Amino acid sequence: MLRKHITFCCRSAILLRPILPLGKINYATSTTTILKNMEAVKTMKDLGYVFNTEGQLRKIGPDGKPSEEPFQFNISDQHQECQAHYEELGNAITEYIYHLLETKVNLVRLPVPEGSTPETGTFVFATKDYDKKDVLLVLINGSGAVRAGQWARSLIINESLEQGTQIPYVEQAIAKGYGVMILNTNDNYQADGKKIPHSSSAEEHARYVWETYISKAEASSIVIVAHSYGGVVTVTLADQMKKEFEQRVKAIAFTDSVHAFSPIKMPKFMKEITRNWISSSAPLDTPMKTPEFDCPRVSAGHPKHEMSSCSCIDSAFKFIEEKLSNK
């Protein structure tokens, strides 16, 4: 059973920040020669890991190249030491993916709040012309350690970058001529432990970004893809921005969203433009039992919660295109 989980990663405990990458990239080349910010790469190498050309995390071999050995959580018989190693690696990956968002899909950082510095605030990512496009795609991840660009940190570490990141969604959206905005809902604390203004929670972050950036964009059609707790964030936004949501939001693709746990009731107009791909062993897009109060549920084509965004990407975009054609 899906559970509502609200956990935010405080930078006073973890000073770096977690995130992930994409498809059709030579990850090994990107990691070693393209990154301008080499600190993340050095950190990963210091930990003994690098990405191979398939975007899989592998231990560095004696020749300095990726070996066939995958990530190993148990580096000692002390669980705390193993967990600290995992978190440190996750933070290095976060910075690497931030950089890929900027260099591989040419996204830019927009400060949250406006005028803030890296020490006092956070940021979201967007295509440079996001505010000029007729269609704007907004990506919202779940809760926990994930940051902008990630669906699931465990997937990036244990499977591949393409499976665990939002970059495949960014690529498809750009190919279709959409603008893109990636929220960073879990970056809520400054390094000293103080809450970031206008980003102290996922919901506050989303509302600020909507009012400051999304609302002012020229897009006549806004579409949203939200995973897990991102569904709660989306339903909350819809409740806060009722009129604008009804006028401008044309399609919402949830991936194993837990919005059903939200006390906010989904309005009728939202049910008509929303579909939730839930984790299931049934074939992709198989209709699933749906409560009357909810939007239609279909199978994501995979039984694992964290795999839902990756497994249903083509169906999600097909759904979005259908809704846009009916606007």
Q: Which residues are catalytic?
A: 228
Q: Confirm if 232 and 258 have CB atoms less than 8 A apart.
A: yes
Residue 78: DSSP 8-state: -
**What are the phi and psi torsion angles at 109 (to 5°)?**
-90, 135
How would DSSP label each residue in 93-162? Answer: HHHHHHHHHHHTS-EEEEEESTT--TTT-EEEEEETTTTT-SEEEEEE--SBS--TTBS-HHHHHHT-HH
Q: Confirm if 110 and 130 have CB atoms less than 8 A apart.
A: no
- For 259, the 3-state DSSP assignment is helix
Cα separation of 8 and 208, whole Å? 18
Q: How far does Cα 119 stand from its chain's mean position?
A: 22
Closest by Cα among 59, 47, 49, 56 to 85: 47
- The encoded tokens of residue 237 equal 């936004």
Q: Confirm if 305 and 255 have CB atoms less than 8 A apart.
A: no
Pairing of strands 107-112, 49-51: unpaired
CB atoms within 10 A of CB 37: 13
How buried is 68 (Cβ within 10 angstroms: 0-12 exposed, 13-18 middle, 19+ buried)? exposed
**What are the phi and psi torsion angles at 119 (to 5°)?**
-80, -30
Q: Confirm if 234 and 214 have CB atoms less than 8 A apart.
A: no
